[in-house]
A = this chain, B = another copy of it.
Amino acid sequence: MFKINDNYLKLPGSYLFSTIGKKVAAFQEANPDKNIIRLGIGDVTQPLAPAIIEALHKSVDEMGKAETFRGYAPDLGYEFLRSTIAENDYKKRGADISADEIFVSDGAKSDSGNIGDIFSVDNKIAVCDPVYPVYVDTNAMAGRTGDYIADEQRWSNVIYMPCTAATNFAPELPKETPDIIYLCFPNNPTGSTINKAELQRWVDYANKVGAVIIYDAAYEAYVSEPDVPHTIYECEGARTCAIELRSFSKNAGFTGLRLGFTVIPKDLKSNGVMLHSLWARRHGTKFNGAPYIVQRAGEAVYSEAGRKQTAEQIAYYMNNAKVIREGLASAGYTVSGGVNAPYIWLKTPDNMTSWEFFDYLLEKANVVGTPGSGFGPSGEGYFRLTAFGSYENTVKAIDRIKAL
């Protein structure tokens, strides 16, 4: 008799954004006349930049002719994309990462979930609290997190690193030593960042205790301040302790196109075994490459026109972030984030819980945000708004919130 993976049964409720989606759909059905503005899920709204569209059309034409048709892609991704990434995202920032240390994938969500495959179940993870729920949920599926304690909204075998107002929404080095440390900067959901010296402390710590850092830099394109690192490989020693996850979703609007990559330096080893080899084996066995046309679209992001056009989109979203941050602050809300990240983190008013504020905002202002408690126990009493809406909707949403 076949047996299921019981760890799945320990997961509370459904994935955060599925729950939100269902709540919003029910509200819209009950109130068909209401114009709902979605500043909840971190999905972009600006269309793909012209340089990207052009690259897609061109490569689609290649796929329609026998002489230029491409079948299975190379396991690790096309060389043209990997070398472009190595040059632009690493060499130009003084980070020592070569093209063959880059694994192209269908997105950072897949990678952040799948990366656990190459580690033993017997590892203790540490996560920022609050943080992107995929890290904890996928470790729960793997059986690494112990049991879920519903009362406390936490797992028994996870090291939570509270990121609260008291810590400036950054984690402190944990008291208990972890094996795997998930860091996400600029942070989702708080929009907080740490500077290079602070990140260096994490790298030094990981090397000292023999931990591996899984560094999610999906939002690096939103960094605006000079002292905030764009990649963990700007730090000394990161090649022996860090895996970096990157995405094309937020810097170039690929949420519906799907492209990301993972960096595993060849110096990152466990008893002489390169994690690079393990991930290469996983990639080659359980994945068959990102679509050729999408890899060409990714390459176009780094072209002169692509860079200019995507920078304009990021500036557009960051202007929204400013509208939200300043609008809410002027209305008396306590806000942070939104300077080096497209997320604004706000304290719920009147001691409402995160979900109470979610319902309140949906019903009274017809604005959708994301409850902070969905990102971890220390997110309770907080709320995330994203800058990824249109400018017009963002202004309208903030006006509605101010009028409450």
Q: Residues of A with Cβ closer than 8 Å to B? A: 1-6, 8-9, 11, 14-15, 18, 41, 43-48, 50, 53, 56-57, 60-61, 63-66, 68-73, 75, 106-107, 109-110, 113-114, 117-123, 134, 137-138, 141, 179-180, 209-212, 253, 255-258, 270, 273, 275, 278, 281-282, 284-294, 390
Copies in the complex: 2
Whether A117 contacts B5 by the Cβ 8 Å rule is: yes
A-B contact pairs, 28 of them (CB 8 A): A1-B210, A2-B210, A2-B211, A2-B270, A5-B120, A8-B278, A8-B281, A8-B282, A14-B284, A18-B75, A46-B69, A47-B66, A50-B64, A53-B60, A53-B61, A56-B60, A56-B63, A63-B256, A69-B256, A70-B256, A71-B253, A109-B287, A114-B286, A134-B285, A137-B285, A138-B286, A141-B281, A258-B288
Q: Which of B44, B53, B64, B114 contacts A64 (CB 8 A)?
A: B53
A48 to chain B, nearest CB (A): 5
Whether B255 contacts A72 by the Cβ 8 Å rule is: yes
Whether B258 contacts A291 by the Cβ 8 Å rule is: yes
Whether B48 contacts A64 by the Cβ 8 Å rule is: yes
In chain B, what residue has the closest Cβ to A212?
A: B2
Contacts of A53 in B (CB 8 A): 60-61, 63-64
Contacts of A4 in B (CB 8 A): 118-120, 270, 273, 275, 278
In chain B, what residue has the closest Cβ to A18?
A: B284
Complex Cα gap A180–B4 (Å): 11
A38 to chain B, nearest CB (A): 10
Complex Cα gap A50–B179 (Å): 52
Whether B210 contacts A15 by the Cβ 8 Å rule is: no
Complex Cα gap A65–B253 (Å): 12
A123 to chain B, nearest CB (A): 6
Whether A292 contacts B141 by the Cβ 8 Å rule is: no
Contacts of A66 in B (CB 8 A): 45-47, 390
Complex Cα gap A141–B141 (Å): 16
9 closest Cβ pairs, A-B complex? A113-B286, A1-B210, A43-B71, A3-B120, A53-B64, A2-B179, A71-B255, A47-B69, A70-B256
Whether A256 contacts B120 by the Cβ 8 Å rule is: no
Complex Cα gap A22–B102 (Å): 20
Complex Cα gap A44–B71 (Å): 6
Q: Which of B110, B118, B292 contacts A5 (CB 8 A)?
A: B118
A362 to chain B, nearest CB (A): 20
Q: A64-B53, A72-B41 are in contact. Are A119 and B291 (CB under 8 A)?
A: no
Q: A113-B285, A141-B282, A286-B114 are in contact. Are A179 and B69 (CB under 8 A)?
A: no
A279 to chain B, nearest CB (A): 10
Q: Which of B6, B61, B69 contacts A45 (CB 8 A)?
A: B69
